[in-house]
Structure 1
């Protein structure tokens, strides 16, 4: 194969070039020889290029192929290449036991999670406490759960303030907040104004008009969810029904998981898990699932 050669005020050959420069000339030369409508295949296109050069290469190639009506298909494991590519130009190929799965237009973090196995959160969800955190987490499908980071912050006004800070400071990735169901429109408006949040479109609420523990208890008092809890927690149905009825008189709704745990001699964090997971598919949580899905497109 002949050495790469270019001339710009002075001759410059492959003897003088780094691997990235040689690769760039090889790619551009092949693209120049490619007829209109032609296809160029490149394996590991990032080879030899430092991050800034990778981004510049993709910008130049995108411009060239759109002007000359040519097509470049390349493989890459570089987040810089993926990030520089238009979303509509990305395909994520993942190995499965019986073949491969292809996902169109993946986000950079979704692709990197697939390659590294380390979650790369694409969306931050601020909530009030760990109960709300577990409830939202359980409500999301597994394919979205790995792409979302849920952060308990504190009271409702602090949640809204944290969302505003996230937006104003341009912290990593988009963010929304999910407030407890007993948050009123008036409260949300006041908190938003005080925090300088320009819009409340990203402020969702858990279902019901009460603390989430009360809403979950109400759902568990109905047959399908109570039966699911009995199976998951391995509790006798009659005793479980009696416990749930007794919990309706709990003075502080936040104590419901603790009292449930004490009644059945289980850890409180396990109690939170089982009672939230049993209502995870409740229709009342669908708006949250839908909004998170729209943020991950």
Structure 2
């Protein structure tokens, strides 16, 4: 299981800070009243580092651009250029903002609007430093016109225009890239430092220029350098944060941005197609753009194909989290003659997100694949057969399955022991371990992880699947009652052909 190096206390403190709007400058909320395919779609920034995910053309950059246009320093044409008669749809575009700026209103938020009417943008935008890192940041040095004069055998700069990396830059880059950048330099091509060339050094001490850097390596150094010298409480916008980066480097970059949000009180928005970029973030920090709707909540990026209808399947199930997905997969496998290969299950990491995605999916006229939502027994969301929202038994899924299996130990204990990679004859020891774990574990979500630890570092997913599958095998009547709603939404030819 992924464990971020950012402390939970830091995440919670930043959530509270954003919730109370305890900033000198902060973009609290935007409403896309009418922009491209969006109509009255709100996006609140409940955490100072926000990820925008979605399919290509879903509107990620639209949200990023709308945020940028809140401030005077950014020209709207940077994101929303009009090309004569070919962009007639821009007429009457409108974006509303809720902002914090203590130099304008010391006690509360204030509102502004940006509109496009009569072929021009109209707005009363406040001041704020805004840094924009577009996808062009990963263009190799040998393709950047401002560096072409450096590609010469006689190129050099005076010693007073060569700067070592400041400690904070060196430490941050080293951690993100997983390599020591001691000895790296910035060469100022002009005295004002507006254009620079980077140089590095190998482990053996051989120097090399940015022309031999990897695209990700160069972009990280320049991005971090720009952020570190920027004003506190600046707004940072990053397109496709994972471009040119290894998945681990992507995670470390997002963790660095969370540190910046805490240390420099900055606000960061980035777009991504990467699951790794989402891992360090809380659910409130993630928004999904789907061409005409925007949803808040953490999910697996792969599930976007289901949300937008880009799937080769006959039915979709949205569930709350990973364990519920494991349980529902067990239900389908054990269901009599159920066409498992025609159904996809997607964990949304939250009951509200699962319900919202199911509602959107079934209402969207372009999607011909039906879906249902299965919520946990302790969910505060309402089950509703008409809306295809169904509830699992028990209050906590993990506790319900765990307790039911232990109670049926006499009939399935030996099988469970083998499924947990133990000897059949050691089932009494396995049972004692399960009982001990149940007594000592306060959080039901940790039951399977703790059993795995006690029995020899067995992966949590292995333990979860063993419990869920054996429960399903032992309870065929409950299984059938739970999967019957899904049978009802399958196309008749699929449902009948498999019975």
TM-score (norm 2): 0.32
Q: Give the conservation status (yes or no) of the 8 Å contact 1:144–1:293.
A: no
Q: Give the conservation status (yes or no) of the 8 Å contact 2:322–2:349.
A: no
In structure 2, the partner of 1:164 is 359
Which among 405, 416, 438 is matched to residue 220 of structure 1? 405
Q: Does 1:136 align with 2:292?
A: no
Whole-angstrom distance in 2 between the partners of 1:227 and 1:204: 32
In structure 1, the partner of 2:372 is 176
Q: 1:169: how far off?
A: 2.1
Q: Give the conservation status (yes or no) of the 8 Å contact 1:128–1:156.
A: yes
In structure 2, the partner of 1:269 is 461
Q: Does 1:205 align with 2:391?
A: yes
Q: Which runs of 4+ in 1 moved over 3 A?
A: none
Cα deviation per residue 1:138-187 (whole Å; 9 max; x = unaligned)? 11137421110000012212111111111222434000011111235xx4
Residue 267 to residue 173, structure 1, CA distance change in 2 (3 Å): same
* Structure 1: gaps of 5 or more residues: 1-118, 193-198
Whole-angstrom distance in 2 between the partners of 1:153 and 1:273: 19
1:1-297 counterparts in 2 under 5 A? 120-141=312-333, 143-170=338-365, 171-183=367-379, 187-188=381-382, 200-208=386-394, 210-221=395-406, 222-223=408-409, 224-235=411-422, 236-249=426-439, 250-265=441-456, 266-281=458-473, 282=475, 283-296=477-490, 297=495
* Structure 2: gaps of 5 or more residues: 1-310
Whole-angstrom distance in 2 between the partners of 1:215 and 1:241: 16
TM-score (norm 1): 0.52
Residue 168 to residue 228, structure 1, CA distance change in 2 (3 Å): same
Q: Give the conservation status (yes or no) of the 8 Å contact 1:125–1:178.
A: yes
Residue 252 to residue 279, structure 1, CA distance change in 2 (3 Å): same
Partner of 1:177, secondary structure, is: strand
Whole-angstrom distance in 2 between the partners of 1:225 and 1:178: 26
Q: 1:268: how far off?
A: 1.7
RMSD: 2.2
* Between structures 1 and 2, the one with greater strand share: 2
Cα deviation per residue 1:1-42 (whole Å; 9 max; x = unaligned)? xxxxxxxxxxxxxxxxxxxxxxxxxxxxxxxxxxxxxxxxxx
Partner of 1:279, secondary structure, is: helix
Q: 1:247: how far off?
A: 2.6
* Between structures 1 and 2, the one with greater helix share: 1
